Every structure is written in structure tokens, then in C-alpha cells.
Amino acid sequence: MTEVLTAAQMRAIETEAMACGAVTGLELMERAGAGVVAAVLEAWPQMAAARVLVLCGPGNNGGDGYVIARLLAAAGAQVVVCALADPVTPDARAMRAAWPGPVVGPADLDWPDFRASALVVDAMFGIGLARDIGAGVWGLLEMAKASACKLVAVDILSGLCAESGRGRATGGYLEWPADLTVTFQRPKLGHYLDAGAQMSGRLVVVPLGLEPQIDALLRADGAAVVDLTTASAASLAKGAGHKFSHGHAVIVSGDHGRAGAARLAARGALRIGAGLVTLTSPVGAMAENAARLDAVMLRPVAEFGALLTDARVSALCLGPGMGLGPDQVALLADALRVGVKPRPTVLDADALTLIARDKALFGLVHAACVLTPHGGEFARLFPDLAARLEAVAVGGPAYSKVDAARAAARRAGCVVLFKGADTVIAAPDGRCAINAAAYERAVPWLATAGAGDVLAGFIAGLLARGLPAFDAACTAAWLHVDCARSFGPGLIAEDLPEEVPRVLRALGV
């Protein structure tokens, strides 16, 4: 997995590297600036002879900006440097002194300066910003984007919180995304969460030679570091055995006319590799389900209790199209009551609504569960956490989806998969991963009815096969996006399970 860092973690890594003598602050700035210039010229070789405007802030992000200006000028660009204020750190002051050209202030810039520039470099604040950027900076970036020049963000777009991906500006600043963001050593949470991916353009990560310090951070407190999800052939390959060796998933269906969601989940569980899948449903839906399914076994819901006593049933999935009546409440309570050992259970859709309504039912949620709420369901389950996500950030790092998912997992005592284009998966012990459908993995066509039901089935199938809850949720989420990528535009939910074999072959399974 790829680590995704907070601003505080990145600062600690840099501080440790400088404290042990591995690198100086000036060397880090030089490496960062050179990395940005290399990324710019790779994306747009013509910028070596273009007019470039570099906006430098007073901190070390501004110091990077002075390096970028110097190196672009050396490559042949006509560079104008604008400083918001005098540098306030020794390293930034040294890099400004090394810049051979003039420096203008914001008051010296006007619309024609932006119109004449092919490239604007935002080196104003970087990942350390913990306040509103103010109308002046907002205006500079508004002019940059309105002028049709390319906008490059150094580390992160000014006004974007590096911890949460939320905006740090008033007046609609987030209408103006970067074309390219160049960050250092590892991506930051704000590049993937909330509006972060939308506002970052293309994301390039430049190494700074700090791998030993990152390894030390992971050894010291690996659970505090967020990862990007992935999947491997080793975790998905099937060994020799019979169908029960690969698990038995039971999916609960709704009644006639509401059973499609459960069928999608069942198909997902089967395709992802569960040895057997049983769909249990009210009598009124049996004929409908039988007409649409072949390899999935069918049982009437009256036999659900018997299935719960069958030790060969290795995972449950409740919620997709299940219904919200008293019968479903009783069924859910039976499923959640722990016997000798809690059975891995996916709670999605209607099951989430039911436990949100009933504290006693929520109290039955156990450590082997995986909750899969979208934003609305999350707000019903954890209204205080959702309110913090919606609140305007005033100072300090803004409350993030990672914060909310971790808090929810601790409170529920189980894995929570908080869905969205920036899906976050969290475990009660603090482990956390982001499954971002962003950048090269962007799949806007995945926003289609029934896709979440298939995801619930994917998770149930992997749980049935024996994957731990956190690993099953992360792997399923990654495969869900990759199946959508493999199929392409025009996708409907029914296509997702059918794309699994192609994706698994590509992984070498």
C-alpha cells in the first residue's frame, strides 16, 4: 500500500531527517524545487521558453517557489516573482537571496500580468495552512485561472486543507482548481479527501530521499498512518479444496419487487470467490429470485434461523432491499446475536437504517461486522460526527472524513467503510485506508443504482473466504473501482460482478 500522510506527519519526517544530519533544510528546498520544475517541463515542455509567474508565500513553501523561479529562469523561461510578504524562515530567506531577479508585490500585479503568463506557480502556503487564505490570495488565484494559463500548486493548492481536502477560503475559491499539483515524498490526505482530488488536477509525487524516516514512522506508529487501498494476487488466490473450503455467504433478500439489490449482492459474492452463496427471501420473492439466479442457492426466510445454526455459513450480508418492518428488525437482531463466535456480517442499506433507529439493535453490532454507509446513512448513524464534517473549519486542521470514519469505527467497535468517491475504511484499532476513485482511478460512471449492493456482496464474499474484516473491506473497495475502470463508461451495476474475472486475471490470480 502507499502511505498517505498528514501535514504533521510530513513535518515530523522532515524534522527528523534534518535533526539526524541526513539532509539540510536548504537541500530539501532544492530537491523540492527541482522536482516541481521537472514535473512542469515533462507536462508542458514549452514552459521552458514561456512567461511564468511564481507566487511566493512567506514560509518554506515560498522558499520552494524561489528555487522554482531560479531553475525555470535558468532553463530559459521569463520569470516574474511575486512575494506576498518577506520570508519569515531562514531557509526561505536564503532562497530568496539566491534568486537573481526582482521581486514584486501583489499590489504590482494586475490582470494583464496574468494574461501574459503561460504558467502560474502557487507556492504561497503549502500543507501548513490552517486558516482562511483571505480575499487577496483568493483574488490572485481567481485571476490565474480566469486568464486561461496553467496553474501549478506546490505541495497543495493554497486554500485547500492538507488534512481534509476542505476549502480554506471564502467567496467560492474552490471554483478554481490547479492543473497540476506536485507534492513531496508521499501524497497528503487532502489530495484525496473531499474536494482535494477535484481541485488538484494531475497529482505528481516527487521523492525527497526521506524513505528511512518514513520507515521509522511506520515502525513507531503504523496504525496512525493512512494507506491507499490495493489488492494482490496472494490475498485473492484460491487454494485447492472444495466449495465449502472457500466459504458460504448468506444474503438476505427483500420481498417481491425489492429483491434486485440482494441479487446483485449475491452475484458479487459469488464472483469474488465465495464457494457457495445462498439467498434467503420471503416466499413472495422466491419465484422472482429463482427466475434470475442459477448458481446461487435459494432458501425461504423462514429458514434463516436454521442457517444461523449451520457452522458452514461463514458470512452474512443484510440490508440491500431487505425492508424496514418489524420482521426485518427481528431477523437482524437474530443475525447479530453472538453465539460461540461472532459471524462476519456486512450491514448495508436498510440494515443501517434499522440500527440507526434502534439503540438496542445498534448495541448488538459486534467486532466481526462491516458497516458500509454512504453519507446520508452515516449521518443517521453518527449525527454528531457528520455535523463536524459539515461545520465550517475555523482554525487548525479541518475535521476530515478520516477523522469521522475512525471515530465511527471506535464507537461501533467494528470496521466502517464510509462510501463515496473518497471512500474511507477504518478499523476500531485505528487502521485506516482510503479507496479513492480519483486521478487515474477516477470512475464517475460508478455512480449508478445498485453499485453499492454489489460492493456489499464483494465484502461478504471475501469475508466468507476468510479474509479479516478490514482486509476484506479494503480489497473489495479496490476491486469495485477496478471493475468499473475495466468496464468503462456505460456501466450498470449488473456489469460489475461480470468484470471480476478480467480484473483478477490482470492481477495474476
Say whether both 194 and 246 belong to one domain.
no
What is the reported pLDDT for 244?
66
Residue 443 maps to a domain: yes
Domain containing residue 437: CATH number: 3.40.1190.20
Domain containing residue 187: CATH number: 3.40.50.10260
DSSP state of 272: T
Cell 479474509 locates to 467
DSSP helix/strand/coil, 355:
helix
Give the Cα-Cα-Cα angle 428, 429, 430 (nearest 5 degrees): 90
Say whether both 245 and 331 belong to one domain.
yes
Residue 374 maps to a domain: yes
Say whether both 214 and 340 belong to one domain.
no
Residue 288 maps to a domain: yes
What is the reported pLDDT for 238?
67
Q: Which residues pair with 150 in a beta bridge?
A: 119
Say whether both 346 and 404 belong to one domain.
yes
What is the reported pLDDT for 320?
97
Distance CA 121, CA 101 (A): 16
Residue numbers of the chain with a pLDDT score lower than 70 = 1, 135, 168-175, 238-244, 339-340, 394
Listed residues 191, 223, 255: the one ending a domain = 223
Which string of DSSP letters, residue by residue, matches 310-329?
A: -TT--EEEE-TT---SHHHH
Give the Cα-Cα-Cα angle 461, 416, 502 (nearest 5 degrees): 35
Say whether both 80 and 217 belong to one domain.
yes
Phi-psi label, residue 121: left if phi above 0, alpha if psi -120 to 50, beta otherwise: beta
What is the reported pLDDT for 445?
98
Say whether both 148 and 287 belong to one domain.
no
Domain count, the chain: 2
Q: Identify the CA nearest to 347 among candidates 389, 315, 388.
A: 315
Say whether both 213 and 302 belong to one domain.
no
CB-count burial class (<10 Å; 0-12, 13-18, 19+) for 315: buried
Cell 468517491 locates to 421
Amino acid at 17: A
In sequence order, which residues have a C-beta less than 8 Å from that of residue 331 and are 6 or more positions away? Answer: 252, 301, 304, 318, 322
Say whether both 207 and 250 belong to one domain.
no
Alpha helices in 413-468 (DSSP H): 451-464
What is the reported pLDDT for 91?
97
- What is the number of other CB atoms lying within 10 angstroms of the CB of residue 407? 17
Distance CA 253, CA 299 (A): 10
Strand-pair category, 432-436 with 226-228 = parallel
Say whether both 213 and 238 belong to one domain.
no
Main-chain phi, psi angles of 244, to 5 degrees: -70, -20
CB-count burial class (<10 Å; 0-12, 13-18, 19+) for 441: middle
Say whether both 209 and 350 belong to one domain.
no
Distance CA 70, CA 51 (A): 13
Which string of DSSP letters, residue by residue, matches 231-251?
A: --HHHH---S--GGGG-EEEE
Residue 427 maps to a domain: yes
Residue 141 maps to a domain: yes
Say whether both 101 and 152 belong to one domain.
yes
Listed residues 223, 250, 272: the one ending a domain = 223
Residue 425 maps to a domain: yes
Relative orientation angle of helices 401-412 and 383-390, to the nearest 10 degrees: 170
DSSP state of 213: H
Say whether both 305 and 391 belong to one domain.
yes
Alpha helices in 127-246 (DSSP H): 134-146, 196-200, 211-221, 233-236
Listed residues 223, 252, 270: the one ending a domain = 223
Residue 228 maps to a domain: no
Residue 116 maps to a domain: yes
Range of the domain at 389: 233-507
- What is the number of other CB atoms lying within 10 angstroms of the CB of residue 211? 12
pTM here is: 0.94
Give the end-to-end CA distance of the chain in Å, rounded to a whole number: 18
DSSP state of 128: G
